A and B are shown apart, each in its own frame.
Chain A
Amino acid sequence: MAGRNVSRPWRLPLVILLASFLLVGPPFLSAYWVGLLTQVVILGILAMSLDLLIGYTGLPSLGHAGFFGVAAYGVGVLSTTYHAGLWTSVAGGFAIGTGLAALFGLIVSHVRDVYFLMITMALGMVLWGLSFRWIPVTGGDNGISGIPRLETLLGLPASGPIPYYYVALAVFVLCSALMTMLVKSPFGLTLQGIREHEPRMRSLGFNTWLHGYVSYVCAGAFASIAGIMWAYYNGFVSPTYLDLTASSELFLMVTLGGPATLVGPVIGAGAIVILKNVISAYTARWLLILGIVYIVTILWAPQGLWNLGRERRS
């Protein structure tokens, strides 16, 4: 289904256009816009990782920002409290985010639909509570600030936001390539089979639990990568990275852009980041406008922007 591009010929040119803009555009943009684009590519990784769950496996997670946030905390704690080096912090953040996904996966992988939604939401709240209350480690509400700059650690020139942007873009390209390979592989096709009809897949002899579990861990791993990038981008971590608002905004990015497309969630992330920042600069009623945008999308593109023109699934 993901590969059926024939009916929507505008897709390929648009992807090429957006990709070339992301690649060559930033040097011509102001520092502020490069900063926003950096946010778009980092949150794009995160939205794609959630798409693996929502779109491809049919598991609606409302706690996905948890892994993002935990990995960011990993980097924050290691690089400030323990003064660890770059690669130790990155590896530590990745390990703790992915490890947690592996642990939580054991709890959530046997449930589906709304039960999955509720349990992931609860686990997300637990992580938020931990970040808020485990003060000696996380600094509580105040978070952890003073994470050293990635440019300095990598020996890049720290002038302006361009170097960091290209680091983030490289990570983004790598992650999207890996995720595309994942969803096109036999494993990815099995996930889509589970999404469409799990009992049938089970009767065909697939271990659907294991597939769901592995997909959950993969999604957690990619979310951790986004979290690491986010921690270095902002230079601090705080409990708002992994609260319910963050998880539901992430959910919106995927559904607004179009689940089961990978490109869609990136567009959703871009649309939300840019709309929020641009509109709120002009009016205090920006939430109202954002709400209208969501409603219009639901009415005219119920399967997301990137699926515009696709017939409703029965």
Chain B
Amino acid sequence: MTRPTEGPFSAPASTTLRFGSLILLVVGVTATWWGTLISDWRPTSGLPEARCSVDSGYYQPMGDWLSPQDELKRQRFNHCVGNLALTQMLWVAVALAVLGLLALLLFAGHPWWRRRRSRLVPIEELPSPDTAALREELQELVDLAGLARPPGFLLDPANARPAGQAFGGLGRRQVSLSAGLVVQRRHDPEKFRAVLAHELAHIRNGDVTITYLTLAVWRAFVVVTVLPVLATLVDPLLQTTQPLRNPLGGGMGQLLNQLISLGWFFVVLIALVYATRISVLRAREGYADARAAQWTDPAVLREVFVASAERDETRWWHTHPRLLTRVRLLDRPERLLRPGFWETFTAAFAVYVTGDYAYQAAQTLDASFAYQGTHDAATLLTAVVVVVAGWRGAAFIRSGAGGRGVYTRAGLGLGLGLASAYGLAILHSAELFRHTPAMASPVFDAAGLGRDAGMAALMLVAVLVLCHWAGHCWQLLATASRRRRLLVVAAMLFAGWACLRWWNTYNYALAPLGPTLSADASVWRHFVSQAHGTGLDLAVVEAVLALFVLLWVLGPVTTFTVPLLWLVPLLLGAARREAVRSAVRIGVIGALMWLVIDIGLRAAAHLTDSAAIRAGDGYAVVFLCWEIAAVLAVQTGAAALLGIRRMRLMPALFATTLTGLLCCLLLWGVHRADSCLPTLGLTSGDCTGTGDVFVAFEALRDIGILGTLLSVAGVLLGRRLRRRPQPQPQPAAAVLPRPATRLGLVAVAGAFVALALWPILHLWPAPRHTRIESVGAPDYVPPPPADTEEVEEESYRFWIAGGGMTQMSDSFTALHDYFQRLRPWIEKQPVDWLASTRDPHVQEACRNLVAAVGRARAFPAPPWAKAAADWSGYLRQLENSADMCTAAATAVDPQTAKADLVSAVVEPAQAEDLGADLKVGLSKT
């Protein structure tokens, strides 16, 4: 059995991608739902997570930016919640296991059910004379289809419609033939063969497993997730530990609240799962038609579709595409290769939803590696979508059906899918936090939303570039060996991971960049002032250092992706050997140019500034910024020159990266030898210091990406500057470079990454620089703290839920019980009050009161100052009552006993205040 390498099957089918999206979505939605349900399934003694808050002293409204003291509290909180999370995750795992088992059972049992329901009869069991010709023809078609394991054929004698159906579970594949189809064999043998070929194509394409798994998973999902979601929408009390209460007890408001806070979110997700299910089932039809058309006369299939198209009653919820759509795909089967907008959109959405649950769950485990691991796994899955989209897009372009716009389409779907899922999650959180402004404010302030929009736009650009790049690599890989393909796929996945790793659900946890830049800018201005610099100096410093701060957010993209962008295509033969050589020459010349400029800058510094000024720390910063700006200028100039010379983009990027690398090496050398060069050095000394040398390599990470952006702009500018119109450069023939060239390219990329990583690995966490502190890791400024009163009020809610209410209730009940026990005695007004204090019931009530007061006193005070004062006063009064009742129990004369009892029977004056506090706290839920 050979798989054709060209045509619509030369790249992974969209069915596979959609099926993967469906499974991810189902797992993600189920886990999210059950995670929500279990965390809300509160025991009567309070919400366990809130109890962790009370015990640790850290309340979630306090936010993420904490003092060292509060940070310790949060660590205790995380540890406590981590223990709870294991139990919750176990429940979620059970729900997922039930889902999986049910799906497997449905999948395995479906063939049996299908045979029984339609009373299918194996064709082998029919009288041989009648079926001999039919069997012969079926065997012929099986041979044509090249199926390694022939399917079993069954007859559906009661079905008059000329239809076939491929199905199967864990065992052998089966194809049922309707009676109408058998009759059609006599009247229209070509149509008969077309139908059979279509069914066998489903088997050959692997659709049977995918389709029946899709159906089984959907049905299991309905049972395990959809029905519980709908049930809690109708009766929100099902989400509590007392599910049998009257659902209308809370009125319509409760139902509405459930819909607003939770229901709509899951309804949207369930609708998406359903749409994905339909898209999986529809996608396979085009591939089956295309495969069948390879075995039979496509005109017959076309004729059948066209003839039936007028009576086509296909609706959007049906599992087959419209017949006219199938006709179009039959005419142009290469369209099946085109990576669609919605398929990448759904895939990205599914990855985000599942990843969101996974890393939120992992975060509560108090294990940073688990959180990071789940986040990296989700990013890697996104990279898989990029690689598959690039693969399909390259195959589509090779078929001649379209251009590079196909990558843009796939990238847009992917980027918007990620952004939409993020937006949905944020909206969901907004609904949950709508009564708690302190918890919501770091997430939903205008600056945060603006920053999110900016980051989403950046992510979209990154995804678009990645899709184009991956597609370009796949185009070069057309004739590559399997081993080379695997290596390149690994490189693409790595690049995708590095490029997208910064995009996560916790964008809001970042410090506000604006205040950080403002704070840093004041420091930079101070440096410029120290150096007696001009406005131009300030502009250069701000431009260079501000970008350093912003680019820090991008993480490994600046280190790993830049060399990979040109390395992989050049290794695959994207440029001729001469072009690579020319790029090396340009890189070396550019570095020498920079050295000349640097010497010129140093000479000018000697001429214009005194030695005292040059020795200042501020001067060192300003001068370094000039040097880095010179590197960027040289890179841009080199790129423009290459653009004028019509060099292709990849070797041009290689040239400018090499320029940047060599410049940084020179920068390192110059700084290291600074004090040894009296005529050029900024400082004078004993020529032994190593000060600031690592700045050069930290700068490399950021010069890498800025240089790349400027290089692209420079190349485009250079092409425009060339006056004479030149023919577009022909696509380079994918001739693999020689081993020496490959080695050189890998060496340059390796040196780039190693030098960029060196400062981090070598010096972290020790101080990096002796003089220049502002380059490298920025000191982020925390967001402005939320209103203290609001934070405390919202924290009070957690105190109530975490056991505060129970303490309040228990202590008050104990006091009330004591009053009740004394009431008969007070009403009788006995002469001998000692008798009342010796009453065993009264004594027991007194002991209970003492114990309740002890427990309440040991319980942490409310986090809200007002409530804490009220609580404290309340406890004092209770303590007094407990002391007096104890004293009365040991009194020796009736008068003392009476006086003690009178003092004990005092209702706490703070009860009303506590009630008002409770009302405020509960309004925050």
Whether chain B is bound by chain A comes out as no
Q: Residues of B at under 8 Å CB distance from A?
A: none
